[in-house]
Homo-oligomer: A and B are copies of this chain.
Amino acid sequence: MPTQKKCILNRTALIQAISSKKSFLCVGLDTDINKIPAHLGRNPEGVLAFNKAIIEATHEYAVSYKLNTAFYETLGAEGWHLMEETLKLIPENIFTIADAKRGDIGNTSSMYARAFFERLPFHSITINPYMGSDSVQPFLEFDGKWAILLGLTSNKGAQDFQMQQSGDEEVYKKVIRTSAQWGDASNMMYVVGATKAEYLSEIRQIIPDHFLLVPGVGAQGGSLEEVAKHGANKDCGLLINASRSILYAASDESFAEKAGEEAFRMQQEMRNFC
């Protein structure tokens, strides 16, 4: 087994990066082999070249990159190799997220933690907390790594269970309130969809200090300003993810340039809030 560098990035370093770049932008590398510009070649080498160009064009304006594992797993073993190679292209002081939505019984979650914290040197992983404390705990046992739990997701299906009542509050609030006891704001974050910006204030009452990873700005329709207004705390406390609006800003040879422009545009909007 190859030994990977430990790859940790703590809360202080993340807050400093946000402050110095005046950005809380996370670029989502949800790279779809069928959507990358044709001239790169729609093969694993093309995907890596695409990621490399996107990272080079956006890293000045971003404090985080998020790799959606599903888009790599459709490529099988080659996809996993691509995640490994992509991580090597990301500058060391930028926060990396495996958007994997994992979670299982304890011994299995331990295996997932090893997969994403050791085998692949991510700083953090997204976790589905539905199976409860012992499904999350193994991720928190890795010193310096982060668990990012689903708080309230941005999709329509969030209505089905997350928004249902349980006792005197919605299920998602119970999930956040309970799970916040399993770790603290130095090793846990929450996913909160931007299409639910009006809920951010209520969530902030439960977890004033935790970072929130916010997808759904851009292609899914959420507003950056609304999210910042309702979701920011004294440390900023936000990572706003944009995937499709940056990756596919153009479909021709100008794709990286246009991606950089879109990332810059978002950073310029963000500088007012951090």
Contacts and interface: CB of A to CB of B under 8 A. Distances in A.
A132 B160 contact: yes
Given A130-B161, A160-B132, A178-B161, A115 B74 contact: yes
A171 interface: yes
A165 interface: yes
A152 to B, nearest CB: 10
A76 interface: yes
A161 to B, nearest CB: 6
Contacts of A76: 80-81, 84, 115, 119-120
Interface string A48-91: 00000000000000000000101101111111110010000000
28 contacts: A68-B108, A68-B111, A70-B111, A73-B111, A73-B115, A73-B116, A74-B111, A74-B118, A74-B119, A75-B119, A76-B80, A76-B120, A101-B102, A101-B104, A101-B128, A101-B131, A105-B154, A128-B128, A131-B155, A131-B157, A131-B158, A132-B153, A132-B159, A133-B156, A133-B160, A134-B156, A161-B174, A164-B166
